[in-house]
Amino acid sequence: MASPDSLRNQFLIAMPALDDPNFSRTVTLICEHNDEGAMGIIINRALDITLSEVLVQLDVAGYHHDLHKHPVHMGGPVQESSGFVIHEPLGAWEADLEIEADLGVSASRDILTAIAEGRGPDRWLLALGYAGWGPGQLEQEITQNAWLNGPADRDILFSLPLEQRWTAAAAHLGVDLSYLSGDAGHA
């Protein structure tokens, strides 16, 4: 169970002034956060590949043909060749981390095979790579106004078009990003 100070199952929303090309205008779902650091998956950047292409690379046969419509996301700059599936509900996947009672992230092949065969979770998002922070690093970045954070919203996570997720996640917190300057300290 997450500690009361944990940011698990929260969105990290990049502030307009955050100009790091890895994180500019991103929304990241925090999957784990404890004294050892934090791990999250960026949910609003698509790569130029689809799930069906990943399944071909993994030699998974018999998948549904509509899987070519599902983009693969750029989950972050760490381990960019490793796949992570954010999903609901939870299941009995081999390498599964519970984010919340009915939301998890899996790094195992069996969940991709289940999705390919039409017996996977109801909603899911596949990403390559993840975002990681060392002990205290994320907390420091938040106090330096690099990020907004607040409760994750499943519709934003799974249903909203990618190009709308950054502003929608901030609006979910009551923040209109168009009113925030990208130049800190300037009026």
Residue 163 maps to which CATH number? Answer: 3.40.1740.10
* Residue 154 in domain: yes
Residue 59: the pLDDT is 76
pTM of the model: 0.89
* Residue 74 in domain: yes
* Residue 158 in domain: yes
| Contacts for 152 with CB less than 8 Å, ≥ 6 apart | 9, 10, 11, 29, 30
Token pair listed for 73? 């996301």
User: Would you say residue 185 has pLDDT above 60?
Assistant: no
* Residue 97 in domain: no
* Residue 143 in domain: yes
* Residue 3 in domain: no
Per the rule left: phi > 0, alpha: psi between -120 and 50, beta: everything else, 165 is alpha
* Residue 103 in domain: no
What does the pLDDT look like over 6-65, one tens digit per residue? 999 999 999 999 999 999 999 999 999 999 999 999 999 999 988 878 877 777 766 665
What's the structural domain count of the chain?
1
Look up the domain containing 14 and give its range: 10-61+68-85+125-179
* Residue 184 in domain: no
CA distance 40 to 20: 16
